[in-house]
Amino acid sequence: MRARKGECLPTGADGRYYLRMARSGGNSFDPLRIHIRQRAYKLASQLIVAASLRQLVQGIADAGNRPAQLMLLAMDSGTYHGTLVGNHYAYREKEGLISYCPAGRTQIVSDSGKWERAGRQETTPARWVRSVLKEARVKLFRDHELAEFTEKFKAAELSGKVTLEESTDFAEAYKSANYTGTEASAMYSCMWDDPVEGFYKTAPCVALIAKRGDGKYLGRALLWHDVQGTSGARFMDRVYSSSPEIRELFRDYAKAQGAWCKDKDSASCRMWRKPDGTSTCGTLTVEYSNLESVGFFPYMDTFSFSMGGTLCTSDDGEAEYSYFSTSGDREELHQGKVQLESGIWVDEEEACEVNGSWYHQDDCVTCERSGEYIHYSDSFTVRLSRNNTITIHRDHVTDNS
């Protein structure tokens, strides 16, 4: 390893340092007899971070994460970090952890310019942030923001070890044996090993699956096409995975694909996250032309209602079925009720059918000639005598004037 002017380098064997002398043609070395144990260690005041780690923090900061934004400031300004407990921070040396050279030790650099691992320690991303930033800076963000920083960090660690694949083999996507034992038990799914492929194969969606190197699955989600309400973008449904970092990989995938997703991975969430990170709400729909021919109806986290051949995310009073059953059935909404021409649902016994449309009984009368219900607007009252009147449809009335 070549030394720079005025730089001390350890020899290793005799425990001495050699100092390059500041004289012309200074290629010779004179021994500087200071033993390693006698040399005081002074930690650099500048926070030193590997380029790959800085790039990762930069990406998290760009998404609006405050701990990451403050860490970037600490890398560029000594006023943001406190007394450093270590330096030469790097990542990818151990999954989910950051390695560093602790105070009191010298970071050894290899001939290739890489930091040697000998003597380095590891810490979690959360502890790293708290140990670097001044206490006053730590108070500028909340715990959930630090948890988000950790999840994104671990997701980046896994990105090279886990692949996300789009598949139309829904039977395999819902087969519990394809998942790790730990994942299958922790990732609760009410549709494990159920015959859902008949429904999804004819639906406008694919299965998005997270796989690790040995082929085992770590998570799944549905990716819907041709969604109305997303300005033409695809929509990623609820992510099923027990690992926060795997769920973060799914979100990163959706963002890279320009797809919308749920703001939170829960069945009840009806807020949508756009690729730019902003949230919105509103009803989303997809068309399903042969919905009536399906034999098994899966539990649906998001598109939980249907009207005719349209699946939708909310019941606006017009939905005919809901998909919250885990036994393969769908529930008929408004049983024993009919929808009036005005859009209101009432008990069938309170309504009258006129020419294929339903009206409230208070708005209808029986035609004395046909014996059928007619709407008041189409009725005509005929007075037969002082105390006797009848109501008939106006079509049966002749104007003799």
Report the length, in residues, of the chain.
401
How would residue 399 be classed by pLDDT, with cut points 50, 70 and 90? low
Lowest mean pLDDT among 3-7, 90-94, 299-303, 380-384: 3-7
- What pLDDT sits at residue 1? 46
Asked if 218 and 243 sit in the same domain, the reply is: yes
Asked if 170 and 281 sit in the same domain, the reply is: yes
What tens digit of pLDDT does each residue of 337-368 get? 788 888 777 888 889 999 888 998 888 888 88
Asked if 154 and 177 sit in the same domain, the reply is: no
How would residue 94 be classed by pLDDT, with cut points 50, 70 and 90? low
The more confident residue out of 391 and 327 is 327
**Residue 334 backbone zone (phi > 0: left; psi -120 to 50: alpha; other: beta):** left
Q: Is residue 23 pLDDT above 60, yes or no?
A: no
Q: 101, 126, 158 — which closes off a domain?
A: 158
- What pLDDT sits at residue 3? 46
Do the domain assignments include residue 294?
no
Q: Is residue 9 pLDDT above 50, yes or no?
A: no
How would residue 129 be classed by pLDDT, with cut points 50, 70 and 90? very high
Question: What is the spatial distance between Cα 192 and Cα 184, in angstroms, rounded to a whole number?
Answer: 9
Average pLDDT over residues 286-315: 91
- What pLDDT sits at residue 369? 82
- SS3 state at 380: strand
- What pLDDT sits at residue 128? 93
* Closest residue by Cα to residue 347 from 356, 338, 355: 338
Q: Is residue 400 pLDDT above 60, yes or no?
A: no
Asked if 168 and 271 sit in the same domain, the reply is: yes
Beta strands in 156-204 (DSSP E): 162-167
Question: What is the spatial distance between Cα 378 and Cα 361, in angstroms, rounded to a whole number?
Answer: 14
- What pLDDT sits at residue 40? 34
Q: 158, 180, 195 — which closes off a domain?
A: 158
How would residue 21 be classed by pLDDT, with cut points 50, 70 and 90? very low
What tens digit of pLDDT does each residue of 75-90 get? 988 777 888 888 999 9
DSSP code per residue over 16-84: -EEEE--STT---EEEE---GGGSPP---SS--B-HHHHHHHHHHHHTT-HHHHHHHHHHH-TTSB-S-
Q: 125, 158, 191 — which closes off a domain?
A: 158
Do the domain assignments include residue 111?
yes
**Selection from 60-64, 106-110, 132-136, 168-172 with the highest mean pLDDT:** 168-172
Burial class (CB in 10 A: 0-12, 13-18, 19+), 18: middle
The more confident residue out of 383 and 370 is 370
According to the 3-state scheme, what is the secondary structure of 292-346? HHCCCCCCCCCCCEEECCEEECCCCCCCCEECCCCCCCCEECCCCEEECCCCCEE
Do the domain assignments include residue 21?
yes
- What pLDDT sits at residue 185? 61
Lowest mean pLDDT among 38-47, 211-220, 300-309: 38-47
What tokens appear for 326 in the block?
Answer: 């885990």
Domain encompassing residue 276: 164-285
Do the domain assignments include residue 326?
no
Do the domain assignments include residue 247?
yes
Look over the chain and give the mean of its residue pLDDT values, rounded to a whole number. 83
Do the domain assignments include residue 173?
yes
- What pLDDT sits at residue 41? 36
| C-beta neighbour count of 161 within 10 angstroms | 10
Asked if 243 and 191 sit in the same domain, the reply is: yes
The CATH number of the domain where 178 resides is what? 3.40.630
Question: What is the spatial distance between Cα 336 and Cα 330, in angstroms, rounded to a whole number?
Answer: 16
Angle between helices 125-132 and 143-158 (to 10 degrees): 130
- What pLDDT sits at residue 13? 44
Asked if 133 and 60 sit in the same domain, the reply is: yes
Identity of residue 119: G
Asked if 237 and 186 sit in the same domain, the reply is: yes
- What pLDDT sits at residue 184? 59
- SS3 state at 134: coil
- What pLDDT sits at residue 26? 47
Asked if 217 and 253 sit in the same domain, the reply is: yes
Asked if 145 and 168 sit in the same domain, the reply is: no
Q: Is residue 335 pLDDT above 50, yes or no?
A: yes
What tokens appear for 119 in the block?
Answer: 């003597």
Contacting residues for 361 by C-beta, under 8 A, at least 6 apart: 350, 351, 352
Lowest mean pLDDT among 87-91, 103-107, 395-399: 395-399
How would residue 395 be classed by pLDDT, with cut points 50, 70 and 90? confident
**Residue 104 backbone zone (phi > 0: left; psi -120 to 50: alpha; other: beta):** left
Do the domain assignments include residue 329?
no
Do the domain assignments include residue 334?
no
Asked if 168 and 280 sit in the same domain, the reply is: yes
Lowest mean pLDDT among 16-20, 87-91, 108-112, 154-158: 16-20
- What pLDDT sits at residue 381? 81
- What pLDDT sits at residue 24? 43
**Which pairing describes strands 235-236 and 260-262: parallel, antiparallel, or unpaired?**
parallel
Say what percent of the chain tops pLDDT 70.
85
How would residue 25 be classed by pLDDT, with cut points 50, 70 and 90? very low
Domain count, the chain: 4
Asked if 152 and 176 sit in the same domain, the reply is: no
Asked if 14 and 120 sit in the same domain, the reply is: no
What tens digit of pLDDT does each residue of 247-280 get? 989 999 999 999 999 998 888 899 999 999 899 9
